[in-house]
Amino acid sequence: MRPAGRGELDSLYFSYPTFAAKAVPELDGIASTHKVTIVGAGPIGMTAALTLARYGIASVLLDAKSTFNDGSRATCIARPSMQIFDRIGAVAPFVEKSLGWRHGRSYFRDHQIYRLEMPHSDDEKYLPMYNLQQQYMEQYLHDAVTAQPLIDMRWQSEVTGIATAERSAMLQVTSPLGSYALDSAYVLAADGARSPMRSMLGLRLKGENYEGRYVIADVQMDHDFPTERRAFFDPAGNPGGTVLIHKQPDNIWRVDYQLREGESEVDAVREDNIRARVGAILDDIGHTGPWALEWWSIYTANTLALDDYRHGPVIFIGDSAHIVPIFGVRGLNNGIADAHNIGWKLGYVVNRWADAALLDSYTPERRGATLDVFANAKKSTRFMTPPTRGWALAREAALSLAISHDFTRGLANPRQMQPYTYADSPLTRFPARDGEFTAGPVCGAAAPNVRLADGGHLLDQAGDGFTGILFSANTPSDEAADLLQDLAAADPKFTVHVILDLDGAIASTYGAGANTFYLLRPDLHVAGRWRSLVPDEVRRTLAAGLGDSAP
Amino acid sequence: MTETATTPTTPFDELEQAYEALAQAIDRAGPHNEAVFLAKLALTLGQQLGSVAPFKEAIAMALQDLPARGGA
């Protein structure tokens, strides 16, 4: 919502473009079967389209709106999402505009009781977190989409019906220029938390709703404080409630505050109430200058997900598949990982480089990640918005002790998004090989980055396909050379890197010795690793990554 | 924020479980009995500590930083 007198898209700092509906062949009765249609051109849908384009796969991208999402919505981009934007060639404007950060503070009343310091090392290419308003994210991804001839972007195109068969889906699309049927082998539903696609297919999210309600407001002000996450428990500016404050580009500050028990939602979102509550909070943090209200919304924490992210040819990505609480910033980031995960898999399947069975790994991997998010989010939500008297009193005790003692401070840890490890992935065939290592990323984990002598990074050298990393001081053995040849024959995008320096930073980060081999997936998670190369197991691991479901 | 050495310490993940068990137990006791429940819990822990010195230390810690206007 916006202040009285300003339209829905009337922002203080962002000009919303208007995108016209496009004359498309289907309107002239020229029907063709598309390989992939993506419903919803938010950050998740566009990331999926750009990932597919990386593999040469054309897609139709539909959005019912004529412009980007209103308001700033998601604001925190975690490191793994920046890595993905990097992989799809869209990261530069994100780095340019966003505000990177790695620290936070939690306060109880007047006392600082927790200092958040997110893990970081000089080997990383990106910081743990970046703040950027969602409409900028959409603008930058849309610029990349526009520059990509493989993506057929269709604004003002609403899906009004769907009929699915085993191997294709027929979408009914309505635009101001007319209605048409769109035939597609696969459909990615990226149409958000209230997903019409989900409703049309009669699918329901399942899970829990939490009691606590928050107002999310963006204000514009000159306020001198570093880019950090600030959490206030029971502050004078919102007695009995919690407040979160984040800095965003363009002098925009995100203020989240918890509503009091019994406070009506209708009253809470009235502009005069928003102004009074936000004013008290700004006063409390020492802001004395002018401020302007940009946008606000109301929010309740939920942990909801589909049982299966796939329904025949329709695959759900992002909020259409799962809704997670905002604490810990996993909504957008979890969705970006969904888009990238299905993107490379579908790219491989549509290109016939992999068997369609590869798609069966999407739900277990990404729903597994969501359940992990739920476990963390449940704890952070109970701390941010204690659901009962017992939780409120226990939190009060923990926070009061935290003023002078360290031992309860960890309970105030916001459990920010960390990369997820695909521990039980069907693509990991030999997890027991982890036992041979004393260091390095386990099977299913995201591969760690290493800064190279030339200032570049190890993961920049990975291609779009599976990547082999062979540690060998000498010319690879005949056995290794044969294996690499086989891998390249099986995966046309396969690349290999031979690390000659067995005493260097890469070998140490990967816990590697002579003849150690890592096989990375296209999303740079570890498919398998061998302290000493076992060619047959590597072949079988790549086969699994290409959809071979034989054990 | 001073560091206080408390002996012997419970690992963080177990402290977290204690926190959760406490929250749920207060709810089970109900609003009318929460104070007497918490006093019983403290006394039981005092007995299990084996000596009175750490119990007195814990009392001092818990009395510290109590809010002037009353808490939750």
**ipTM of model:** 0.88
What is the total count of domains within chain B? 1
CB contact under 8 A, B4 and A401: no
CB contact under 8 A, A390 and B71: no
Tell me if A212 sits within 8 A of A384, measured CB to CB.
Answer: yes
CB contact under 8 A, B19 and A394: yes
Does A117 map to a domain? no
Q: Is the pTM of this model over 0.80?
A: yes
> Scanning every residue of chain A, which has its alpha carbon at the shortest distance from the alpha carbon of B67?
A400
Does B46 map to a domain? yes
Q: d(Cα A480, Cα A202) in Å, to the nearest integer?
A: 51
CA distance to partner chain B, nearest, from residue A243 (Å) = 17
Among candidates A112, A404, A411 on the partner chain, residue whose Cβ is nearest the Cβ of B64: A404
> Hey, what are A368's tokens?
């597994």
Q: Quick check: B64 pLDDT over 90?
A: yes
Find the CATH number of the domain harbouring A443: 3.40.30.120
Interface A-B: count of C-beta contacts within 8 A: 76
Interface probe for B, chosen from A376, A406, A413, A415 (most Cβ of B below 10 Å), is A406
> Scanning every residue of chain B, which has its alpha carbon at the shortest distance from the alpha carbon of A392?
B72
Report pLDDT digits (tens) over A340-394.
999 999 999 999 999 999 999 999 999 998 988 888 888 888 888 888 999 999 9
- Domain boundary residue, one of A329, A347, A375: A375
Q: What is the pLDDT of residue B4?
A: 44
% of chain A exceeding 70 in pLDDT? 99
Question: Which residue is listed with tokens 């412009």?
Answer: A67
CB contact under 8 A, A405 and B61: yes
Cα maximum dimension of chain A: 76
CB contact under 8 A, B62 and A401: yes
Does A536 map to a domain? yes
Backbone angles phi, psi at A344, to 5 degrees: -70, -35
Report pLDDT digits (tens) over B16-62.
999 999 999 999 999 999 999 999 999 999 999 999 999 999 999 99
- Domain boundary residue, one of A327, A359, A375: A375
Tell me if A3 sits within 8 A of A293, measured CB to CB.
Answer: yes
Backbone angles phi, psi at A494, to 5 degrees: -65, 135
Report pLDDT digits (tens) over A224-257.
899 999 999 999 999 888 999 999 999 999 999 9
Domain extent for A155: 25-91+131-206+305-375
> Scanning every residue of chain A, which has its alpha carbon at the shortest distance from the alpha carbon of B24?
A390
Query: Do A340 and A445 have their domain in common?
Result: no
Query: Do A315 and A457 have their domain in common?
Result: no
> Hey, what are A341's tokens?
């995960």
> Hey, what are B35's tokens?
């104070």
CB contact under 8 A, A405 and B4: yes
Domain extent for B34: 27-63
Report pLDDT digits (tens) over A461-505.
999 999 999 999 888 889 999 999 999 999 999 999 999 999 999
What is the total count of domains within chain A? 2
% of chain A exceeding 90 in pLDDT? 80
CA distance to partner chain A, nearest, from residue B59 (Å) = 11
Among candidates B2, B15, B31 on the partner chain, residue whose Cβ is nearest the Cβ of A407: B15
Instruction: Report which of A288, A284, A280, A222 is spatially closest to residue A253, judged by C-alpha positions.
Output: A222
